[in-house]
Amino acid sequence: MNENEIVDSFAWLKERVGLEYRALVREARGNESKKAQLESVISRILALNGYAFKNEERDFIARELSNEIAGYGPIDPLIKDPEVSEIMVNGCASVFVERRGKIQQTSVRFTSDGRLMELIRRIVEPLGRRVDHSTPFVDARLPDGSRVHAVIPPVSLSGPVLTIRKFCRDSMTCNQLLELGTYSQELQEVLKAVVESRLNVIISGASSTGKTTLLGVMCSFIKDEAERVIVIEDSAELHINRMHLVRLESRHANLEGKGEVSIRDIVKNALRMRPDRLIVGEVRGAEAFDLVHALNTGHQGSMSTVHANSTEDSLLRLENMAILAGENLSYSAIRYLVRSVIDVVIHMIRLESGARVINEVSLVNKGDYAGCTRVRPIARYELATGSFLIRDEQAIRRIDGYDDK
């Protein structure tokens, strides 16, 4: 009897446990010890109702039912698998994962779209969120911090779609990235010099290319523990171990559409908190204007990430997003502002092997803002040789502190 057959055969037991042990079910979500208690309750009910299973069979049934009631159903083993970094459910009959950087199809299935919808609601409702025909999109977070996004019919023609970006419990270190080949030893020294020189940095790349991981590692290069670093994120992901650190997180509106706190709201208020550096997890919209405005009034050495196709495109995206703020500035003024405060752009890519590497490190030209060339590449990853090439040694040596490495 597989997991789906167990859930269907013991639907009555699932309903009974949900009604009679509501408090335990609620506590068991995200709590392994409480979940073990729930399994014991299920085993006891099975025995009292005359089901003469062997111990191994009873334990298996209890575990699968507890996963369904208080866990994540068929995808519970994937949630617990440390090698899985992302889970993509494309309707009830199609589940993919990203494992070691490569996307793979799994044999995991939900018995119906209704059961998948039940899981989605079980994730979002405790957070005061809802998903229905009037609100077919929802963002949420699991107790361990993993990001969740769901979209349902009629918007989704593939049935309910659930995407989970798993939260990394242990932060990556600079040496680990070095071992993984994200950058070379020489390039690591360049990045350290960039941070120590208090240059403003944008890390660009597509989804799941390692932007946030690199951002966290670069924050570890901030040597002065007395510096006041304020971290602003849409969903807390960064691991930064510092004494003088303030972490702020945006908040979605509640069921009544009230209480939203946007990244833009937080960036504005962070300026009143005497920051030495601002770390914005990702710039996605009008907050780009507030970020570049903050960098233009001090706060050197700040860093953020943006979705873009290249170092050059990342500047264009920042300019376009800053215009969305509606501050009645001309495009040329916005463009001047962006290029005057951003010093370094680092572009990340994911190789066919699944490895994430720095594709290019560029300095932003501060001279001719109307010209075609707006960035100056100083280092690049060569796909043909699989190695990192320093393209402008002279420019690198002008970064304060690099010669001391």
- 182-210 confidence digits (pLDDT tens): 999 999 999 999 999 999 999 999 998 99
The values of phi and psi at residue 185, to 5°, are -60, -45
For the sheet with 344-350, list strands across it. 245-249, 229-233, 277-280, 303-307, 201-205, 344-350, 356-364, 375-382, 387-390
pLDDT the model gives residue 18: 78
pLDDT the model gives residue 5: 59
Model confidence pLDDT, tens digit, residues 231-248? 999 888 888 888 899 999
Averaged pLDDT for residues 12-41 = 82
Q: Which of 319, 316, 308, 296 is nearest to 372 (CA)?
A: 316
With 80 as the cut, is the pLDDT of residue 7 above it? Answer: no
pLDDT tier at 218 (50, 70, 90 boundaries)?
very high
With 70 as the cut, is the pLDDT of residue 2 above it? Answer: no
Query: What share of the chain has pLDDT > 90, as a percent?
Result: 50
3-state secondary structure of 329: coil
Averaged pLDDT for residues 238-263 = 86
pLDDT the model gives residue 44: 85
pLDDT tier at 8 (50, 70, 90 boundaries)?
low
3-state secondary structure of 196: helix
With 60 as the cut, is the pLDDT of residue 228 above it? Answer: yes
pLDDT the model gives residue 327: 87
pLDDT the model gives residue 69: 83
What distance in Å separates the CA atoms of residue 58 and residue 273, rounded to the nearest whole number? 56
Query: What share of the chain has pLDDT > 70, as a percent?
Result: 94
3-state secondary structure of 362: strand
Residue at token pair 């209704």: 114
Regarding predicted confidence, which is higher, 130 or 87?
Answer: 87
pLDDT the model gives residue 168: 72
What distance in Å separates the CA atoms of residue 46 and residue 41, rounded to the nearest whole number? 9
pLDDT the model gives residue 68: 81
Regarding predicted confidence, which is higher, 50 or 108?
Answer: 108
Q: Which of 175, 135, 167 is nearest to 152 (CA)?
A: 135
pLDDT the model gives residue 196: 93
- 175 residue type, one letter: N
Q: Which of 374, 384, 258 is nearest to 311 (CA)?
A: 374
